Amino acid sequence: MLKFGEIIAESGNFDIIHAHDWLVAYAAKTLKVSFNTPMICTIHATEAGRNSGIHSDMQKYINDTEWMLTYEASEVIVNSNYMKSEIQRLFGLPFEKINVVPNGVNLNNFNNVYRDYDFRRRFAMDNEKIILFMGRLVYEKGIQNLIAAMPKVLEHYHDSKLVIAGKGGMIDELRRETEALGISHKVYFAGYLNSKDVQKMYKCADVSVFPSTYEPFGIVAIEAMLSGIPVVVSDIGGLNEIVEHGVTGMKSYAGNPNSLADSILSLLFDHKLCDEVVKNAKAKVKSEYNWNKIASDTHFTYQKAICETMAERQAKQIAQEKASKEQKKSNTKPNEISNLLSFKKREAYA
């Protein structure tokens, strides 16, 4: 609060406060009330969604804080229609209060980035097709289902290899899964990659797979589409909106390894399909997920919140003025009656 006050003293009051998720909810509410400034919030994911429900006191606290944040905000931003439906269902918000503004990528990310064969050979042989997973190794990312799909993929397309890039709490469990399935020699855990290596890895892959069981948006799918490799995603959440099956990528049933394998194999065997979906996917990313469009949509939401707050202030001011006038009237009437009675009394004695 003190720091915020110092900033306002130096630069003047802010037009709007933009809060992101539950961790800053109480700070945002305090600033909103203290400085009479409109506040909007972005909900990137919900506690109920991440955990398939609320199962503990801590989760209930976070869920309640998320509700409070959306209630206090003049406008709410989410990154997909799936998330719009989810928070409307969870928190009972009016649909018109929820604005869908997707995440975006830098369209120049892969300019002058080409396939580096020396880099590729660190993960697979030249004759092997790389099936790439990029993301955190947590349950909701569905990597366990992708590993379960690999025996069927390898049965039909032996010259393929799964490369898993990322880190997370499931690493040991996933290693045990590959060993139990007898495919540890066909699965490479690349670990954490820096931004330059991420760009190289996308360019080296032949198919990228994002088999999430819960995904509010799916920024990695956008990155893969922009890089020029075909994608396979699960038909859930934001991923379901990003990819049109057979047009900008392939879909699979969420949590279904058999369906995942079928979609992967369809791309591995059909080069014409790959070329077509890559071309369409790039065009979609450039038209719908560029930062100019996203900035414009966000600015429009800011304007809505500011105008609504000004209208609320004006309505409140009018209501106060009306109440003040009514109060004056009610105070004046008894005096007028008293004066009239006094006058009549004086006339009677006269």
Q: What angle do CA 116, 217, 21 make, to 5 degrees?
A: 120
Rounded distance, CA 109 to CA 201, Å?
13
Q: Is 126 exposed, middle or buried (0-12, 13-18, 19+ CB in 10 A)?
A: exposed
User: Helices 271-288 and 257-269: crossing angle, nearest 10°?
Assistant: 100
Q: What is the DSSP string of 140-171?
A: GGTHHHHHHHHHHHHHH--SEEEEEE---TTH
Give the chain's end-to-end CA distance (angstroms, integer): 70
Asked if 2-102+293-312 and 117-289 have one fold, the answer is: yes
Q: What residues form DSSP beta bridges with 164? A: 133, 189
**pTM value?**
0.81
Rounded distance, CA 50 to CA 262, Å?
27
Give the pLDDT score at 264: 97
The domains of the chain are located at: 2-102+293-312, 117-289
Residue 167 phi, psi (nearest 5):
-135, 165
Give the pLDDT score at 110: 93
**For 117-289, which CATH superfamily applies?**
Glycogen Phosphorylase B; (3.40.50.2000)
Reading the chain (350 residues) residue by residue, the pLDDT tens digits are: 677 777 777 777 788 999 999 999 999 999 999 888 899 999 999 999 988 899 999 999 999 999 999 999 999 999 999 999 999 999 999 999 999 999 999 999 999 999 999 999 999 999 999 999 999 999 999 999 999 999 999 999 999 999 999 999 999 999 999 999 999 999 999 999 999 999 999 999 999 999 999 999 999 999 999 999 999 999 999 999 999 999 999 999 999 999 999 999 999 999 999 999 999 999 999 999 999 999 999 999 999 998 876 666 666 667 777 777 777 766 655 555 555 555 555 555 54
Give the pLDDT score at 324: 75
> How many CB atoms lie under 10 A from the CB of residue 39?
22
Identify whether the C-beta of residue 210 lies closer than 8 Å to the C-beta of residue 135.
yes
Give the pLDDT score at 74: 93
Q: Is 12 helix (H, G, I), strand (E, B) or coil?
A: coil
Class of domain 2-102+293-312: alpha beta
